Amino acid sequence: MSITMDIHEVLEHLPHRYPFLLIDRVLDVVPNESIVALKNVTMNEPFFPGHYPHHPVMPGVLIIEAMAQAAALLSFKSMGTKPDTNSVYYFVGIDNARFKRPVSPGDQLILKVAITMNRRGISKFKGTAEVDGQIAAEAELICTLRDK
């Protein structure tokens, strides 16, 4: 079963808000398997004035954070639940992060994340961030849902 999510549903499943919400739309979710999400990168992003003002580049850590937010959406859709005020979905680890090309204003970042392991409340994911079919970044992510 394939699912899409507009911004309203994304907001129901992620606690993040501007300026830290890094997912604009979900193009495809297959629960317990994978997600494809979209981030429109605009010059209005709050980090561009200070991150190379003469050559704006999206910070790599925010690209990885966007992948982690996609992983959280995949997890909530897989569990058939939404976040609540008593728990937090934490990004707890990253392995093998690589940055292959810069992401600039006007780019459409396509985030592809797949579950590789889910045991005892810890989930591992393999993620890529692409622009125009080229890999901009890739990483393995580790996340967990914890009570506050």
Residue 53 CB neighbour total at 10 angstroms: 8
Out of 13, 16, 51, 54, the active site residue is: 51
Q: Domain range holding 34?
A: 3-147
Of residues 146 and 74, the one with the higher pLDDT is 74
Number of independent structural domains in the chain: 1
Q: Structure pTM?
A: 0.95
Q: In what order do the strands lie in the sheet with 108-119?
A: 3-5, 25-30, 34-40, 108-119, 122-131, 134-147, 87-99
> How far is Cα 25 from Cα 121, in angstroms, rounded to an integer?
26
pLDDT digits (tens, 9 = 90+) for 86-139: 888 899 999 999 999 999 999 999 999 999 999 988 999 999 999 999 999 999
For the question of residue 51 being annotated catalytic, the response is yes
Q: What value does the mean pLDDT take over residues 10-39?
A: 96
Secondary structure (3-state) at 77? helix
Residue 27's CATH number:
3.10.129.10
